[in-house]
Structures are given as C-alpha cells and as structure tokens.
Structure 1
Amino acid sequence: MSRPAKGPLVGLRIVEFVGLGPAPFAAMQFADMGADVIRIARPGAEAAPPDPICGRGRSTVEVDLKNPDEAEMVRRLIDEADALIEGFRPGVMERLGLGPDALLGRNPRLVYGRMTGWGQTGPLAPHAGHDINYIAISGALAAIGTAERPLPPLNLVGDFGGGSMFLIAGMLAALWSAQRTGEGQVVDCAICDGAIQLMAMMHDMAAAGWWRPGRASNLLDGAAPHYGAYECADGAFIAVGPIEPQFFELFRKAIGLEEDAHALRADPRNWAALRERIAARIRTRPRAEWLALLEHSDACVSPVLDMKEAAEHPHLAARKSFVELDGLMQPAPAPRFSATPTEARARPRTTIALADALSKWGGRSA
C-alpha cells in the first residue's frame, strides 16, 4: 500500500505525458513536494534511458492515444487536473487532439506546461536537438571548458537547470494566477531561454568589465588559481574556492604558501604561476590529510567526490540528502519545508489502470 503524500503541494493534480529528461525530472519534483501526478505512457513503452529515479512518486497509466475511446478518457482525466506536463515537439499534442486550445476549452483553469529545447516558436522549433545544442546558442557552452575547447557540463545547465527548473517555476507561477483568476494558460518553457537566464550573472560581470572573452580566462571558469580543482598525492582531487581575501589567507597559511601569494592572485597575469605553486603544495599530501586540515574551516576546501562517495559523505549523511528506494540509492526530495515537510523517503512509482485513475480523480470538475 502506497504511503500518503506529504509536502506543500498535497492536493495538486498533474497529468504527465511520459517523455525525456527535463519533463520527467520536473514531474518528479512536483511529486516529491506532494502533488498527485499520473503519468500517461504508451503501451509497452519504457523510458529511454530507464528512469527508476526520475520516474518515482507517480502512478503510470498505459494508454493508446490513437484509440478514440482511451484518448477521450484521458481528456476526462485532464478535466479533473490542475496542470499538465508534456515534452514533445511542437504540434505532436495537437495532432493527438490534446493541444492546449482543446483542453483549456474543457478545463479553463488548466496550466499547460510545455517543455522543449527550442520552444514552441522560432525557426528551430520543429527541429531535433539535445542539451549540447541548446546551451551552445545560449552562450553557456562557449564559457565552459578548457582554453582549447568547450566541454559539455553534463546536461545540468540545459536540460535540468535551464529546462526543468524553469518549467517548475513557470508552472507554479501560472498555478498561483489560476488560483486567483480561475484562468489557466500555456507555459512555454524552452531550454535555450532558461540557459540564457542562467547566464545573467556572467552578463552582469561582462557589463562591469569583469569578464574576459575566451574560456579559462575568468574567476569562475577555471582560470583563477584560487577557484579550481587540484590533485593530491594519492591521485584524488580537492576543490579549492577561497575567493575572499580572508578565506584565501587561511588557505595560504594552511598549505604553506608565501605571503606574496596575495599579490600574485590580484593580477591575472600571474595566475598561471600561482596555480603551479599551489599545485606543487597540494601534491605533497593525500586528500585525507588536506581535508583533516582544511575541510572544517573557512578555507573553502572540499573533496571532489564521485556519486557513490557523495552518498557516504558525513555532511550529506547527516542531512539525509540521499535515500534508498526500491534498492537504489538516490537523491532525497529537496528543498526542505518547515511547516509542510515532504516525505523523508521519496514515494515509489506505481502502475494503475486508466479507469482507476479516472475514478480516483472523478467528480471535482462537476
């Protein structure tokens, strides 16, 4: 028997059409915060790649949307919903008779969340793409990597940062508006738009003359010796980030750098030389020794951990930042709420029949 939902979004009903990456992740966040999310999936279809974690907390219904009777049952389900999430190319939902005009005509308060890479309009809207393409045109990819070439930052900046998180924020804003006005709307979330928003601080820095063209040329892009990763004697890495002078002073003294390090770090022309001096010092001890000396201080030093190591880190363990569900170690619901706390463990996924889903939600729109 599934556990009752907990969290600030208990009572919110969302229909999710199963898709890729950022749309399921957004739906996972809603479910983690207590929303009742029903996933619509094609019969026999499995997520590619499989999503036992990003698919958690929801009930899945297999539906043949080309079957008129089943499609009408889905429309009736959406009549009872507060919101919808879909991540298909523009026009797909319209061809299925499930576009926003049709559904908002039946359920005027519906918030219709659309997650795409290029958005619903513009010359590239009908074309395929992936995270690397969306962040390439946003200016983000050009700023990330080595001096020689850009490096994709996993798909965190585009799919999940510029995509999922902006879809969640947009839908919550639209739900607030619908609650006050009774009128729903379409939320057109394009990953390329969100990735541009994530570059806002870099645009600020450029406007102030603090951002130089070219990768590995700036404070936060790998150029600064006091903001980067260093290899220890055992081959493990630590992350070093004492940007403020008082924090750098703690770091400098702890690793045995001379006092002229402050003057060297103040001039980007000396960064390469200072980086070599820091690297030489860090290579003299294994990571555990540096962490014992620096981690619990304001020197801004942390271990660079892989996913398994992260789950075992004492700080994250104390906060219960990882949970085990269905035999898988995975990220715990976040953020934390004081008055309406979420479930300490994420809810598992379930499978139900379409008729049962409709019965479960039935009657509210009458």
Structure 2
Amino acid sequence: MPGPLASLKVLDFSTLLPGPFASLLLADMGAEVLRIESPTRLDLLRVLPPHDQGVSASHAYLNRNKRSLALDLKQPEALEVIRSLLRDHDIVLEQFRPGVMERLGLGYEALKAINPKLIYVSITGYGQTGPYKDRAGHDINYLALAGLASYTGRADSGPLPLGMQVADVAGGSLHGVIGLLAAVIARQQTGQGQHLDVSMTDCAFSLNAMAGAGYLACGAEPGPEDQMLNGGSFYDYYRSRDGRWMSVGSLEPAFMLQLCTALGRPELAAQGLSPQPAQQQALKNELRVEFEKHDFAQLCELFAGVDACVEPVLRLGEAVRHPQVRARDLVKQVPRGDGSSQAQMACPLKFSGGLPEPRHMGAGLGEHTDQVLGELGFSAQRIEALRRAKVIV
C-alpha cells in the first residue's frame, strides 16, 4: 500500500521537533523523506532521554520511515550531492535561522534555479522577516509573544508551562504540512513551485481563534480564568477525594443536568446557564465539594454510562490502554531492523484507502548514505573519496 503522498520526495534538513514532526506525517502518508544530517553537529533529539536499547525513544518515533544521509553542508562537494538529489526531490523542508541556507548556497533562489518546481518550506520561530527574525526562541516564548499564555493559567499563579509543545507542533509542524500540501496542489495547476515561510509565532497567534476574534472586533482583552473555556466558568478540572482529576465540559443544558443529577444535586443545573461570574464561581465551589466526596475510581464508574461530557484525566499509560485508543489503533509496532519492534504512536489520520504499515524506526546517523549515493549514480570509489574527505560519514 503506497499511501496518498507516495508521489512526493522530500529533502528534510530539519532537526529537533517542528520539522521532524511535519516530515513524520508526510512519511506516514507515504512520502519518501530523506533526512540530510550534519556529521559534525548532532541533532540533539538523538540523545534526548528516555532511551530504549540505547536509542532515544523520541528520535525513533519522530524520524520513523525516513532515510538518513550524513552530509557536511559546509564542504563544497556537498553541493554536488544536493544538486543531484534535486533532480527528483522537489520538496525541501528546513528549519535553520533565516540566512543560514543562503550562506550554504542552499537558499530557495539557488535551488529554484536547479529545479523550478521546487517547493521550499522554511519553519522558524519568528519568520523570514521582521525585527525578531534572527532572535532565538523556544515554544514557551512563541506562546508568550502570541498572547496565548496571558489567558492560559490561573489568576493567582500565572501562566502554565504546558506539557506539550503547542507552537512547535500545532504551529510549525501542522501549519507547515498544510502549507506544503497547498503548494503541491498549486504546482499541479501552474507547474511552479514556491517558498513557504512558516513562523511558529505567527501560527501560534492564529490559534487565539475565539479570544483573538473577540479582542480585535470588540476590544475584549482576555485574562486568566475570565473566559468560559479558560477557567472562568464551571468548565474546568475537579479533584477527586484521592487526589486525581476529572474534566467537566458540560456546557449544554442537557449535559449540565446529567452532570448534576449524577452527583445527586440536580438543583445546581440552572446555575450552569448563568453568565454571571459570581454564579459560575459559586457553582464551581459546589461541584468541587461533590467531586471530592468520591474517589477517582468511583467517579470513573459513575460517569462511564452518563453522556455528560465528563471524563477522567488519564495518565499517559492509562490513555494508551484506554479502549477508545485501542479501538482506533493508535499504537503500532514499528520494526527496529533486527527482527524486533518498538511500540510507537500511530499516524492519527484514517484514510478509507488505508496507509502503509510503518517500515522502520528513526535511522542511525548516515545509515543510508551509501545507498542514496549509489542510487544517484555515484561509484563506490567516488563515495569512498567523499568519505575520506569527510564530506559524508
């Protein structure tokens, strides 16, 4: 089964999380992804713990189904290899700061001259333009500057450091894939490629969605715990007697009535309809009392048969074993290459035509160098000469 993106061949110059997560989605959907890795500047994801049999679990997952070519881009001979690859690899994904690829002779204009159909995707923190384009940053900084962190947290303790990288993944990775595939469709119509400038801060800014729309149109500045969905209403988390948590999203009246009835307090349901902050806080206090009368297991059992938008806050290990996750086949066994396999999160997209099974975990540094160069027509002698010159490993 080739997958819906089997016609795409991607050169992936990215490291760490945003670019690799984007190219993972492409590879899972059948694209041929070749990682161009530095033999002298290690991708830190390769050493990120925890490790499984000496291999970073994160690297093994984020780089599955991709081949690895170890190439020193600072060496003049490396350009010859890239030019050869561009004959049939017409998508480039890179994640360097603005100007780095140009200094290496690998900027969009230089590569476009070799292949006019090239789609060139640049994922950066702040984009290719603007006063912050050369500034360093991480996910927490992009969320802060985009305004998201200002109303995500508790009024008395401030913003929360989130457990997953929203700007990196929802911003850079997912928007990068959306833009890339849109450029592929445009190329099918025009025959021309283009350069896609993906800023993780830009994309995080767009995730303000409802709060941003309200501010721009009406001047309504959101703050922590003052919106319906950020803790300003009963829509929140509630602690059980034994210190676990339940999520309550019973916004609609029918769901609210089922919630309160299940807790033995049906008279509270009418308070859920009040827009008054004082009424919402009073309701939250009542719900806290009711939830803390029960242990977590009792609450799970209580709400298992109640369609009230109330669900337990599961630990990751519990989520993996949840019947819904199992029914959706969200964990796959991925071959290691030695006959064994590693459990990994599956591609979440479900196509009626199916997807190819995972082929292999993230490859070793330069694992496919000789294979790739051989496919390009490089002789064994030429490959060995490049290795002696430390252009490849």
TM-score using structure 1 length: 0.91
d(CA) in 1 for partners of 2:181 and 2:251? 35
Equivalences for residues 162-241 of structure 1 within 5 A: 162-206=171-215, 213-225=222-234, 227-241=235-249
Conservation of the 8 A alpha-carbon contact between 2:237 and 2:247? yes
Shift of 1:224: 1.3
Q: What amino acid is aligned across from residue 193 of structure 1 in structure 2?
A: D
* Greater Cα shift, 240-249 or 5-14: 5-14
Equivalences for residues 1-366 of structure 1 within 5 A: 6-43=2-39, 45-50=41-46, 51-148=59-156, 149-206=158-215, 213-225=222-234, 227-263=235-271, 265-266=273-274, 267-325=276-334, 326=336, 327-339=341-353, 341-345=354-358, 347-350=360-363, 352-360=367-375
Conservation of the 8 A alpha-carbon contact between 1:73 and 1:354? no
d(CA) in 2 for partners of 1:208 and 1:93? 40
1:169-213 CA-to-partner distances (Å, cap 9, x unmatched) read 000001111122111000000011101111122223446769663
d(CA) in 2 for partners of 1:209 and 1:258? 36
d(CA) in 2 for partners of 1:344 and 1:252? 45
Shift of 1:234: 2.3
Shift of 1:236: 1.6
d(CA) in 2 for partners of 1:329 and 1:53? 9
Secondary structure class of the residue paired with 1:204 = helix
Secondary structure class of the residue paired with 1:79 = coil
TM-score using structure 2 length: 0.85
1:120-177 CA-to-partner distances (Å, cap 9, x unmatched) read 0100101111111112121111121111311232343211111111110000001111
d(CA) in 2 for partners of 1:71 and 1:332? 35
Conservation of the 8 A alpha-carbon contact between 2:28 and 2:65? yes
Conservation of the 8 A alpha-carbon contact between 1:14 and 1:81? yes
Runs of 5+ unmatched residues, structure 1: none
Shift of 1:285: 1.6
Identity %: 37
1:311-335 CA-to-partner distances (Å, cap 9, x unmatched) read 1111101111122334543321121
Conservation of the 8 A alpha-carbon contact between 2:14 and 2:96? no
d(CA) in 1 for partners of 2:266 and 2:221? 28
Kindly tell me the number of residue pairs found equivalent between the two proteins: 356
Q: What amino acid is aligned across from residue 348 of structure 1 in structure 2?
A: M
Structure 1 pair 185/297, CA: closer, same or farther in 2 (3 Å)?
same
Q: What amino acid is aligned across from residue 261 of structure 2 in structure 1?
A: K
Secondary structure class of the residue paired with 1:53 = helix
Conservation of the 8 A alpha-carbon contact between 1:144 and 1:151? yes
Structure 1 pair 264/24, CA: closer, same or farther in 2 (3 Å)?
closer
d(CA) in 1 for partners of 2:309 and 2:347? 26
Shift of 1:356: 2.5
d(CA) in 2 for partners of 1:173 and 1:88? 22
Structure 1 pair 35/262, CA: closer, same or farther in 2 (3 Å)?
same
Secondary structure class of the residue paired with 2:267 = coil
Secondary structure class of the residue paired with 1:334 = coil
Secondary structure class of the residue paired with 1:290 = helix
Conservation of the 8 A alpha-carbon contact between 2:257 and 2:266? no
Secondary structure class of the residue paired with 2:11 = strand
1:260-281 CA-to-partner distances (Å, cap 9, x unmatched) read 4423551222222211111111
Shift of 1:47: 2.5
Structure 1 pair 210/289, CA: closer, same or farther in 2 (3 Å)?
farther
2:50 is aligned to none
Shift of 1:229: 1.2
d(CA) in 2 for partners of 1:229 and 1:361? 56
Conservation of the 8 A alpha-carbon contact between 1:10 and 1:36? yes
* Greater Cα shift, 66-75 or 330-339: 66-75
Q: What amino acid is aligned across from residue 66 of structure 1 in structure 2?
A: K
* Greater Cα shift, 344-353 or 33-42: 344-353
Shift of 1:19: 1.7
d(CA) in 2 for partners of 1:361 and 1:250? 65
Runs of 5+ unmatched residues, structure 2: 47-58, 378-393
* Greater Cα shift, 156-165 or 265-274: 265-274
